[in-house]
Protein backbone atom coordinates (compact mmCIF):
# COMPACT_ATOMS: atom_id res chain seq x y z
CA UNK A 1 0.00 0.00 0.00
CA UNK A 2 1.09 3.54 -0.65
CA UNK A 3 1.68 5.79 2.29
CA UNK A 4 -1.52 7.79 2.13
CA UNK A 5 -5.16 7.83 1.12
CA UNK A 6 -6.52 9.12 -2.14
CA UNK A 7 -9.91 10.77 -2.47
CA UNK A 8 -11.95 11.21 -5.62
CA UNK A 9 -14.70 13.84 -5.63
CA UNK A 10 -17.42 14.25 -8.22
CA UNK A 11 -18.39 17.74 -9.34
CA UNK A 12 -21.21 18.75 -11.67
CA UNK A 13 -21.83 22.02 -13.46
CA UNK A 14 -25.42 23.10 -12.86
CA UNK A 15 -27.61 26.18 -13.30
CA UNK A 16 -26.73 28.49 -10.39
CA UNK A 17 -29.05 28.18 -7.41
CA UNK A 18 -29.84 31.90 -7.50
CA UNK A 19 -31.11 31.77 -11.10
CA UNK A 20 -34.85 31.75 -11.68
CA UNK A 21 -35.16 28.71 -13.96
CA UNK A 22 -37.44 28.80 -16.97
CA UNK A 23 -38.70 25.95 -19.16
CA UNK A 24 -37.35 26.18 -22.70
CA UNK A 25 -39.65 26.90 -25.64
CA UNK A 26 -39.63 23.27 -26.87
CA UNK A 27 -40.57 21.96 -23.38
CA UNK A 28 -37.68 19.48 -23.39
CA UNK A 29 -35.84 20.94 -20.42
CA UNK A 30 -34.95 24.22 -18.76
CA UNK A 31 -33.32 27.17 -20.47
CA UNK A 32 -29.53 26.91 -20.09
CA UNK A 33 -28.24 29.34 -22.74
CA UNK A 34 -26.84 32.58 -21.23
CA UNK A 35 -27.72 31.38 -17.76
CA UNK A 36 -25.22 31.53 -14.90
CA UNK A 37 -23.84 28.13 -13.97
CA UNK A 38 -21.80 27.06 -10.96
CA UNK A 39 -20.70 23.97 -9.13
CA UNK A 40 -23.54 21.92 -7.66
CA UNK A 41 -23.67 23.08 -4.01
CA UNK A 42 -23.61 19.50 -2.65
CA UNK A 43 -20.48 18.83 -4.73
CA UNK A 44 -18.88 21.95 -3.26
CA UNK A 45 -19.49 20.38 0.12
CA UNK A 46 -17.86 17.18 -1.17
CA UNK A 47 -14.73 19.06 -2.32
CA UNK A 48 -14.60 20.96 0.96
CA UNK A 49 -14.86 17.71 2.96
CA UNK A 50 -11.99 16.17 1.02
CA UNK A 51 -9.84 19.23 1.74
CA UNK A 52 -10.81 19.24 5.42
CA UNK A 53 -9.93 15.56 5.70
CA UNK A 54 -6.53 16.37 4.23
CA UNK A 55 -6.06 19.19 6.73
CA UNK A 56 -7.11 16.92 9.58
CA UNK A 57 -5.60 13.53 8.76
CA UNK A 58 -2.05 12.84 9.88
CA UNK A 59 0.47 9.98 9.63
CA UNK A 60 -0.74 6.84 7.89
CA UNK A 61 -4.18 8.34 7.38
CA UNK A 62 -2.70 11.27 5.51
CA UNK A 63 -4.57 12.26 2.37
CA UNK A 64 -2.07 11.94 -0.41
CA UNK A 65 -4.16 13.18 -3.29
CA UNK A 66 -7.55 14.69 -4.13
CA UNK A 67 -8.85 14.13 -7.65
CA UNK A 68 -11.84 16.03 -9.01
CA UNK A 69 -13.95 14.37 -11.70
CA UNK A 70 -16.68 15.86 -13.85
CA UNK A 71 -18.72 14.44 -16.75
CA UNK A 72 -20.28 16.95 -19.14
CA UNK A 73 -19.75 19.53 -21.87
CA UNK A 74 -16.59 21.63 -22.46
CA UNK A 75 -17.69 24.17 -19.86
CA UNK A 76 -17.56 21.54 -17.12
CA UNK A 77 -13.87 22.46 -17.09
CA UNK A 78 -14.77 25.74 -15.34
CA UNK A 79 -16.30 23.70 -12.54
CA UNK A 80 -13.21 21.51 -12.36
CA UNK A 81 -11.03 24.64 -12.17
CA UNK A 82 -13.11 25.78 -9.23
CA UNK A 83 -12.51 22.44 -7.51
CA UNK A 84 -8.78 22.82 -8.22
CA UNK A 85 -8.87 26.39 -6.88
CA UNK A 86 -10.54 25.16 -3.71
CA UNK A 87 -7.75 22.63 -3.20
CA UNK A 88 -8.07 19.52 -5.37
CA UNK A 89 -4.73 18.40 -6.85
CA UNK A 90 -5.74 17.35 -10.33
CA UNK A 91 -8.85 17.01 -12.44
CA UNK A 92 -10.36 14.59 -14.94
CA UNK A 93 -12.95 15.73 -17.42
CA UNK A 94 -15.07 13.16 -19.23
CA UNK A 95 -16.20 15.34 -22.09
CA UNK A 96 -19.56 14.81 -23.75
CA UNK A 97 -22.38 16.99 -25.00
CA UNK A 98 -24.93 14.21 -24.43
CA UNK A 99 -27.45 14.52 -21.60
CA UNK A 100 -26.20 12.15 -18.94
CA UNK A 101 -28.43 10.02 -16.74
CA UNK A 102 -27.27 9.00 -13.27
CA UNK A 103 -26.61 5.43 -14.48
CA UNK A 104 -24.31 6.70 -17.25
CA UNK A 105 -22.48 8.96 -14.81
CA UNK A 106 -22.11 6.07 -12.35
CA UNK A 107 -20.69 3.84 -15.11
CA UNK A 108 -18.22 6.54 -16.21
CA UNK A 109 -17.18 7.05 -12.59
CA UNK A 110 -16.75 3.32 -11.97
CA UNK A 111 -14.46 3.04 -15.01
CA UNK A 112 -12.33 5.98 -13.85
CA UNK A 113 -12.26 4.59 -10.31
CA UNK A 114 -11.01 1.22 -11.53
CA UNK A 115 -8.05 3.08 -13.06
CA UNK A 116 -7.40 5.64 -10.34
CA UNK A 117 -8.10 3.32 -7.39
CA UNK A 118 -9.08 5.96 -4.81
CA UNK A 119 -9.71 4.86 -1.20
CA UNK A 120 -12.70 7.13 -0.79
CA UNK A 121 -15.19 8.66 -3.22
CA UNK A 122 -17.18 11.68 -2.06
CA UNK A 123 -20.16 12.85 -4.09
CA UNK A 124 -22.97 15.33 -3.55
CA UNK A 125 -26.12 13.52 -2.45
CA UNK A 126 -27.84 15.00 -5.49
CA UNK A 127 -27.45 17.66 -8.14
CA UNK A 128 -29.76 20.63 -7.81
CA UNK A 129 -30.75 20.50 -11.49
CA UNK A 130 -32.32 17.03 -11.82
CA UNK A 131 -32.53 16.19 -8.07
CA UNK A 132 -32.04 12.52 -8.95
CA UNK A 133 -30.15 11.43 -5.84
CA UNK A 134 -29.04 8.21 -7.55
CA UNK A 135 -25.46 8.45 -8.79
CA UNK A 136 -23.76 7.62 -5.47
CA UNK A 137 -25.98 4.65 -4.79
CA UNK A 138 -25.67 3.27 -8.34
CA UNK A 139 -21.91 3.70 -8.21
CA UNK A 140 -21.73 1.76 -4.94
CA UNK A 141 -23.78 -0.97 -6.57
CA UNK A 142 -21.63 -1.13 -9.70
CA UNK A 143 -18.40 -1.25 -7.68
CA UNK A 144 -19.87 -3.40 -4.92
CA UNK A 145 -18.51 -0.90 -2.38
CA UNK A 146 -20.12 0.15 0.91
CA UNK A 147 -21.99 3.44 0.84
CA UNK A 148 -22.82 6.08 3.44
CA UNK A 149 -25.32 8.56 2.04
CA UNK A 150 -26.52 11.93 3.43
CA UNK A 151 -23.37 12.39 5.48
CA UNK A 152 -23.26 15.15 8.10
CA UNK A 153 -19.95 14.02 9.63
CA UNK A 154 -17.08 11.99 8.17
CA UNK A 155 -14.09 10.49 10.00
CA UNK A 156 -11.40 8.21 8.69
CA UNK A 157 -9.82 5.81 11.19
CA UNK A 158 -6.67 3.72 10.96
CA UNK A 159 -6.34 4.05 7.22
CA UNK A 160 -8.99 1.43 6.67
CA UNK A 161 -12.29 2.39 8.24
CA UNK A 162 -14.77 5.14 7.96
CA UNK A 163 -17.23 6.52 10.48
CA UNK A 164 -20.07 8.55 9.05
CA UNK A 165 -22.96 10.30 10.75
CA UNK A 166 -25.99 10.26 8.45
CA UNK A 167 -29.03 12.50 8.52
CA UNK A 168 -32.09 10.24 8.47
CA UNK A 169 -35.74 11.02 9.07
CA UNK A 170 -35.69 10.05 12.73
CA UNK A 171 -32.46 11.92 13.58
CA UNK A 172 -28.80 11.00 13.23
CA UNK A 173 -27.48 7.55 12.43
CA UNK A 174 -23.82 6.63 12.90
CA UNK A 175 -22.42 3.97 10.60
CA UNK A 176 -18.96 2.50 10.14
CA UNK A 177 -17.59 0.90 7.02
CA UNK A 178 -14.40 -0.41 5.56
CA UNK A 179 -12.52 1.46 2.84
CA UNK A 180 -12.84 1.90 -0.06
CA UNK A 181 -16.28 3.41 0.22
CA UNK A 182 -18.72 5.91 -1.28
CA UNK A 183 -19.93 8.90 0.75
CA UNK A 184 -22.62 11.32 -0.38
CA UNK A 185 -22.83 14.71 1.30
CA UNK A 186 -25.76 16.40 2.97
CA UNK A 187 -26.11 20.14 3.45
CA UNK A 188 -24.87 20.31 7.03
CA UNK A 189 -21.61 18.42 6.53
CA UNK A 190 -19.59 21.64 6.23
CA UNK A 191 -19.58 25.18 4.88
CA UNK A 192 -17.43 25.32 1.76
CA UNK A 193 -14.59 27.84 1.65
CA UNK A 194 -14.11 30.46 -1.04
CA UNK A 195 -11.44 29.74 -3.60
CA UNK A 196 -8.85 32.36 -2.61
CA UNK A 197 -7.25 34.54 -5.29
CA UNK A 198 -3.79 32.94 -5.01
CA UNK A 199 -5.39 29.50 -5.26
CA UNK A 200 -7.40 30.53 -8.31
CA UNK A 201 -4.13 31.51 -9.97
CA UNK A 202 -2.39 28.30 -8.88
CA UNK A 203 -5.30 26.20 -10.20
CA UNK A 204 -4.34 27.21 -13.73
CA UNK A 205 -1.16 25.20 -13.42
CA UNK A 206 -2.73 22.04 -11.99
CA UNK A 207 -3.22 19.13 -14.41
CA UNK A 208 -6.60 18.64 -16.06
CA UNK A 209 -7.02 15.55 -18.23
CA UNK A 210 -9.81 15.26 -20.77
CA UNK A 211 -11.15 11.94 -22.05
CA UNK A 212 -14.30 10.83 -23.84
CA UNK A 213 -16.91 8.22 -22.83
CA UNK A 214 -15.80 6.24 -25.90
CA UNK A 215 -12.19 6.18 -24.59
CA UNK A 216 -13.58 4.57 -21.46
CA UNK A 217 -15.73 2.15 -23.44
CA UNK A 218 -18.88 3.27 -21.66
CA UNK A 219 -22.24 3.36 -23.39
CA UNK A 220 -23.97 6.55 -22.31
CA UNK A 221 -27.11 6.14 -24.40
CA UNK A 222 -30.17 7.40 -22.53
CA UNK A 223 -32.40 4.74 -20.99
CA UNK A 224 -35.04 7.27 -20.05
CA UNK A 225 -37.09 9.45 -22.34
CA UNK A 226 -38.24 12.89 -21.24
CA UNK A 227 -41.77 13.35 -22.55
CA UNK A 228 -42.37 16.93 -21.54
CA UNK A 229 -41.09 19.55 -19.11
CA UNK A 230 -43.59 22.08 -17.77
CA UNK A 231 -43.64 24.74 -15.09
CA UNK A 232 -45.47 23.91 -11.88
CA UNK A 233 -49.01 25.32 -11.82
CA UNK A 234 -49.22 28.85 -10.50
CA UNK A 235 -50.33 28.97 -6.91
CA UNK A 236 -54.02 29.89 -6.55
CA UNK A 237 -54.82 32.39 -3.84
CA UNK A 238 -56.12 30.87 -0.58
CA UNK A 239 -59.40 31.70 1.14
CA UNK A 240 -60.24 32.41 4.74
CA UNK A 241 -62.99 30.24 6.21
CA UNK A 242 -65.31 31.29 9.02
CA UNK A 243 -65.72 28.01 10.86
CA UNK A 244 -64.35 24.54 11.33
CA UNK A 245 -67.47 23.14 9.71
CA UNK A 246 -66.90 25.19 6.60
CA UNK A 247 -63.26 24.05 6.52
CA UNK A 248 -64.26 20.40 6.78
CA UNK A 249 -66.87 20.90 4.10
CA UNK A 250 -64.30 22.43 1.73
CA UNK A 251 -61.72 19.76 2.44
CA UNK A 252 -64.30 17.05 1.85
CA UNK A 253 -66.16 18.41 -1.16
CA UNK A 254 -63.81 20.86 -2.92
CA UNK A 255 -60.31 19.60 -2.21
CA UNK A 256 -61.57 16.02 -1.82
CA UNK A 257 -58.78 15.16 0.58
CA UNK A 258 -60.93 13.76 3.36
Partner 1 sequence: MFRSTISLTTRRQLAASIARHPTALPSVSLLTRSFSATRAFRDDTDDTVAKTSLHTLTEDEQMMREMVSRFAVDVVQPKVSEMDEAEKMDPAIIKGLFDNGLMGVETPAEFSGAEASFLSAILVIEELARIDPSISVLCDVHNTLVNTVFRHYASDHLKQKYLPLLATEKLGCFCLSEAGSGSDAFALQTRAELKGDHYVINGSKMWITNSGEADIFLVFATVDPSKGYKGITCFVVERDMGVTIAKKEKKLGIRASSTCQLSFDDMRVPVENVVGEVGKGYKIAIEILNEGRIGIAAQMLGLAQGAFDTAMPYMFQRKQFGSFIGDFQAMQHQYAQIAVEIEAARLLTYNAARLKEEGKPFIKEAAMAKLYASQVAERASSKAVEWMGGVGFTRDVPAEKFYRDCKIGAIYEGTSNIQLQTIAKLLAKDYRE
Residues making contact with partner 1 (CB under 8 A): 38, 78, 81-82, 85, 194-204
State the minimum distance, in angstroms, from the CB of residue 202 to partner 1: 8
State the minimum distance, in angstroms, from the CB of residue 194 to partner 1: 5
State the minimum distance, in angstroms, from the CB of residue 129 to partner 1: 18
| Pick 38 or 149: Cβ nearer partner 1 | 38
| Pick 41 or 141: Cβ nearer partner 1 | 41
State the minimum distance, in angstroms, from the CB of residue 256 to partner 1: 35
| Pick 179 or 208: Cβ nearer partner 1 | 208
Length of the chain: 258
| Pick 193 or 250: Cβ nearer partner 1 | 193
State the minimum distance, in angstroms, from the CB of residue 195 to partner 1: 5
| Pick 41 or 146: Cβ nearer partner 1 | 41
Amino acid sequence: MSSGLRILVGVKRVVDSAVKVRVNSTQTGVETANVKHSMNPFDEIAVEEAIRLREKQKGNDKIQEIIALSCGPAKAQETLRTALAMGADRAIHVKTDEMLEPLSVAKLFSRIISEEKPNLVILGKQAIDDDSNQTGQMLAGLLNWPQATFASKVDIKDNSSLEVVREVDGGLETVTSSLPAIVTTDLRLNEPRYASLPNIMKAKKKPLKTISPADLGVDIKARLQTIKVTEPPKRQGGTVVDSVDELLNKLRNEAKVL
